[in-house]
Amino acid sequence: MAYVDGYIVPVRTADREAYRTAAAAFGARLIAAGALRVVECWGDEVAHGEVTDFYRAIAAEDGETAVFSWVEWPSKAARDAGVARIESEPDPAGEPGHPAPFDGKRIVFGGFVPLFDLTAPPS
């Protein structure tokens, strides 16, 4: 059964392109490690709620955008093996001179088992 990792990331709005570049590089590593699909979505219409919202979940600061992302894996076992592979490899983004364009301490993430997947028929 498929498995999905979901993320909400606080990114400085001015660092959109730097984030896109870093996320694309990390996405390529995920695909090489067995992920089927990596999707990164820049916040466009993200409402501020009365009780909670994406911004509160990531403790977003002024000048930050909420980024919503997910990674699809063929199974939880494939995800666990892929993550172990990535963690065993050197991360070029973590080296000096390659600062992350976001605060990794404020990422919200989790693993999910799909309940269903609706797809529109081809038009």
- The amino acid at residue 48 is H
Q: Is residue 21 part of a domain?
A: yes
Q: Is residue 98 part of a domain?
A: yes
Q: In Å, how far are 70, 71, 102, 123 from 39, measured between CA atoms?
A: 5, 6, 17, 22
Range of the domain at 80: 3-105
Residue 26 maps to which CATH number? 3.30.70.100
Q: Is 74 exposed, middle or buried (0-12, 13-18, 19+ CB in 10 A)?
A: middle
What domain count does the chain have? 1
Q: Is residue 65 part of a domain?
A: yes
Nearest alpha-carbon partner for 61 in 15, 122, 110? 15
Q: Is residue 122 part of a domain?
A: no
Q: Is residue 33 part of a domain?
A: yes
pLDDT tens-digit readout, 75-86: 999 999 999 999
Each residue's pLDDT, cut to its tens digit, for the chain (123 residues) gives: 899 999 999 999 999 999 999 999 999 999 999 999 999 999 999 999 999 999 999 999 999 999 999 999 999 999 999 999 999 988 666 555 567 888 889 999 999 999 998 999 998
Q: Is residue 116 part of a domain?
A: no
